[in-house]
Every structure is written in C-alpha cells, then in structure tokens.
A = this chain, B = another copy of it.
C-alpha cells in the first residue's frame, strides 16, 4: 500500500484539495502528456460548461451522486423550504453526461465518428467525513458515432489509453478488460433470463466481499437470484476466474463449453482488444499491461460491450484509476442514437495517492532554469538583458529580486531548485553600456559548484535541466545508496 509519510496536498476546506506549485507542476505535466497523446491520435479537445440543468443530471440516474445546486446570493427567495426551483443549475458530477448533452446539442456541427478528450474539474457533494474529494479532475476520452459505431473503436480506445498511461511516470499499471456481451451471452447460454443475468452480475460483483460459499456467498446468491445449480455456479465462478491474454481467454472460455451467439460476439470483441494490445507490455517494459479479467462486473449493468478498469501496482487500495466502456446509446435526441465508447481517468485520485507516497516528483518548484544575479540595482538593466537573451533561446529565466550579497542570491535560487545562477560582469562595464551584455559573464551550477565563463548569446543548460522534469521517484523504501542524482 501507499506510504503516507510524505506531504499531502493542503486541503483546508474539506474535500477541496489544492496543490503547492511543485505538485501542480506534476499535474500540469501529466495533463500535457495526456493531451499530446490524445491529439496524436486525432482526438479534439472539448470543454463543457461547469453546470447542467438539475433535471438533466437527475434524469441520468445521478441519484448515486450528491450534486451541488447553485443559488444566486441575491436571488429572490421563493418562500419557505429550499427545494431547488425548476430550471435550477447544478455543478456536473462527471464529464459523460455533459458530453452526451453537448453531442446532441451540437450534432449538426460535429463530424461523426467524433473523438474528443476533455480535462475538467467535477464536483460531488459527498459528506466530508467520508474523506472523499468534492472537487477533482477527470480526464475523459470518448469516440461517439451517429447511429452506429464499429467494434474496432473499442480496440482503438484501449490502445489510446494504454499509450497515454505509458507516457506518465506511474508505477506499473494494468488495464483490465471484460465484455458485457461475453458475460451476458455466457449466462444466456446457461439458460438465464433478463432477471437472472442481472442477478448474476450483482452476485459476481460481490465475490471479493462475500466469498464463494456460505449463506451470503456468491453460490447462494446465484441460486436465489438466477436459480443456478451447482454446475452452473461452478461455470460462473470458472468464467470469473479467467484472466490473461487472448489465448488464455479463448481457451478458458471455450473449455467451459457454453454456446450462445452473444457469447461469440463478446468473445470476439474481447479477443480483438487483447490481440491489438498484446505488445503494450513489452513495448513499455511492463509499465502498462492490457489483460482480460472476466471477474469485472462493476459497470456491466450500464455498459453494453467492452468494460475497463485499471489498477496501479502498490496502490490497489484506491481502486480503479481509469474506467469506462461501451454504451450502445451514449446519447439520443429521439431520432438519432449516438453509441459511444470511452474511458475516464481519475487524475486527482491517482495523483494525490502518488504525491502522498512520494512516488512522483518535479525536479524543481519553479520553471526557471537560470537565476540571473544582480550586481547592483544600477546595473539591473544588464541582468534583464541577459535574461532576455536566454529567454529568446527558450531558456526559462528569472532575475534576482534584489542586489543582495551573491551568497544570498544563490540561496534564493537554491530554495526554488533553480540549478544555475548567472553572474553578469561586476566591473561596471554595464554602467557604461546599460542594457548591454558585454564583459565577462559567468554561470554557476549551484549543485556541483562548477562555475565557468559563458556567453548569453550561446550558453544553454543541459537538456535535462531546461524544463521542470517530472519523474517517478524511487519509493523511499526502495531507495538505494547509489541514487546520487537525486537532489
């Protein structure tokens, strides 16, 4: 489990976490990497408004989620009670409902299939004592079709999210895939009706909690809810135990001998996803693995085909960081149905666990690679000119706020993690040449103490020092003595 001995994000208003600058740099860097991957795959960025009409949120079954209703402070008050007025606005609690509404509203201006990514905060009015976040950032990708959406988009989504996760500095991650049609077809093949299938999904979802046997166990639930005998319960548990790659899944399912057209379709879809992602683990050195897990039942009742859950090694306790699946009807305007397949990454949940464990760090708290020292307020122009020259070549640079002793200016840089301090000439050259950059300049790497003559027009820091770097830190319990490059 995650260690909790590192600084967590300040959260003075319960459930509304805020990050210190170095933590926010980690988050921004992850969002940039995700965006870059999504755009490389042709996904367009979309933002929706933070609010939806309350009836839209409630119609989508948000009864599970506490929502925040907005009230204008100076609005006229409509008498006793506080039932929200008709047309009341509430903060969205996910990005799927707003996106579905956006698709219907703008269908005439969009080209289908439409791929979009969306990175936004969402809000849930959870009770504070539960320790859950009330404001957090979600990162969603979806592909939505008009009328139809081919099965190969399930393959595409899996590959895109795997590629995106592979670019993040995370512990090893497993994207587990299952398929509603496979599970439902299997149980149809065993003779279950609609109610039976629902009962089976419900029972299997409890497997971790209640176990197989005993009065409240899964076998008892299967018997009571679906009328399953021991043979069919055995088959159910055997199916739920299937994990692994395409070959393992195909052999495992076929060995159970159940036959149904829906099972065949679901199995084919699952195998297509697994085959198209079999090389992800090898390509990422095991950092991202896509594998089947036929025990996934959560979400099977509202998804219609592929479903996803994602676990992060060492952080299993936080649950799935990245979940989603296929909807036959993401949205509908009465005439046209919009099927979709999408995945949602819970960025705040993932990131806060990583930060709390010290499992990811930024190389410094500010973007600056260089602090230009000021030899005296009279020659601040000269320091500004050096900074302008460096920035002109893309080197993030700030100028010392005051002409203190150079030791103090170096400490200023050190406190921020700025690796280089630049010393313009102190000989008064600049006084005769205000704004100029002539004279002997020197630059010091304050980590090593190395100092050398440098030219503002040509010097550059090593590439690894140019920008804030975000990286998976060695966990403190895994740290070795030779980790000498950790500042």
CA distance A41 to B121 in the complex (A): 27
In this assembly, does A150 line the interface, its C-beta being within 8 Å of a C-beta of chain B?
A: yes
Contacting pair A50 B123 (CB below 8 A): yes
**Once the chains are docked, how many angstroms separate the CA of A416 from the CA of B110?**
9
The answer to whether B365 and A396 touch across the interface, beta carbons within 8 angstroms, is no
CB of A20 within 8 A of chain B? Answer: yes
Instruction: State whether A125 and B72 are in contact (beta carbons under 8 Å apart), knowing that A44-B24, A49-B135, A367-B42 are contacts in the complex.
Output: yes
**Residue from the list B43, B47, B68, B395 in contact with A73, Cβ < 8 A:** B68
Q: In the complex, A47 Cα to B119 Cα: how many Å? A: 14
Indicate if the CB atoms of A71 and B72 lie closer than 8 Å: no
Q: How many chain A residues have a CB neighbour from B under 8 Å? A: 87
Taking a contact as CB atoms under 8 Å apart, the answer to whether A43 and B81 are in contact is no
**Given A45-B25, A47-B19, A135-B50, residue A73 in contact with residue B81 (CB < 8 A):** no
Q: What separation, in Å, do the CA atoms of A323 and B125 have in the docked complex?
A: 35
A116 at interface (Cβ–Cβ under 8 A)?
Answer: yes
Q: Which of B46, B49, B68, B110 contacts A72 (CB 8 A)?
A: B68
Which listed segment binds B: A10-18, A169-177, A207-215, A438-446? A10-18
Is the pair B105, A12 in contact by a Cβ cutoff of 8 Å? yes
CB of A401 closer than 8 Å to a CB of B? yes
Nearest opposing residue in chain B for A276, CB measure: B384
B-binding segment of A84-92, A222-230, A310-318: A84-92
Q: Interface 1/0s, chain A 368-395, versus B by CB < 8 A?
A: 1000000001001000100000010011
CB proximity of A152 to chain B, nearest CB, Å: 6
Q: Please indicate the chain B residues that have their CB under 8 angstroms from the CB of A451 in the complex.
A: none
19 A-B pairs with CB atoms under 8 Å apart are A17-B49, A18-B47, A18-B48, A20-B110, A40-B395, A41-B397, A43-B367, A44-B365, A49-B135, A66-B74, A67-B72, A68-B71, A69-B73, A70-B71, A70-B125, A77-B81, A77-B83, A82-B82, A111-B412
